[in-house]
Amino acid sequence: MLIQSLDDQISLSVDNPADAQAIASHLRADSAWLEVVAGIDTVVVRFDALAMDAGTAQGRIEESFRDGIPPLPTQDTLLEIPIVYGGEYGPDLGALCEELGITKEEFIALHTGTEYRVDMVGFTPGFVFVGGLDERLHVPRRTEPRQCVAAGSVGIADGRTGLYALASPGGWTLIGRTSYTLFNARSDNPFPIEAGMRIRFTAISADEFEA
């Protein structure tokens, strides 16, 4: 874990998303920090520069992990995310399957055939990064991002699955759309999916999606 100090924040570089989430979870239990934000391979800790200097803040963090990084609490709930694959909802899936040399059915079997964990939520509000994509489905981002991707769209890129909670520009290869409510403005927790959650994707038909 590499630690860098700035005027009012500490940046920690870590090896993987699981460590980032474990570190962030542990640090959030300490009221000394104004904010703790976990990324894919970084954790940023903001502190009150009037209350402590950067050296003191860094020392406090180093002391927190003197005995190593504590594991994340076990997630008992497995969240199922229903997806309608291809067609108007996943406009890139047909061409992608041709590129990969597999059928749509084979793609769906690979994508739904494993359990995943949410690496992080962010970039745009509520955008969900899900790690653990099968290596046979690894593709880069599109060279030309779309100007607007519909809310609920599901894409893949760079070894991850991405879920668009809100309509936004985006460069992921779109494979489908989920009927799961990724954003609910009336809820106390408008973005229900959080980093560290266990997820499994399930395939539904277009009729089921519309219903």
Is pTM, for the whole model, over 0.85? no
Whether residue 71 lies inside any domain: the answer is: no
Q: What is the mean pLDDT of residues 178-198?
A: 91
- 57 and 87 belong to one structural domain: no
Q: Which two tokens stand for residue 93?
A: 């899936």
pLDDT, average across residues 131-148: 94
**Last residue within a domain, chosen from 40, 64, 88:** 64
Residue 4 has pLDDT above 80, yes or no: no
Domain hosting 51: range is 2-64
- Same domain assignment for residues 86 and 174: yes
For residue range 28-67, list pLDDT tens digits in order.
889 999 999 888 888 999 999 988 988 899 999 999 898 8
pLDDT interval class at 196 (50, 70, 90): confident
Assigned domain for 91 exists: yes
Q: Domain containing 141 — which CATH number?
A: 2.40.100.10
- pLDDT value at position 109? 98
Q: Does the pLDDT at position 1 exceed 70?
A: no
Residue 2 or residue 108, greater confidence = 108
Q: Look at the chain and report how many structural domains it folds into.
A: 2
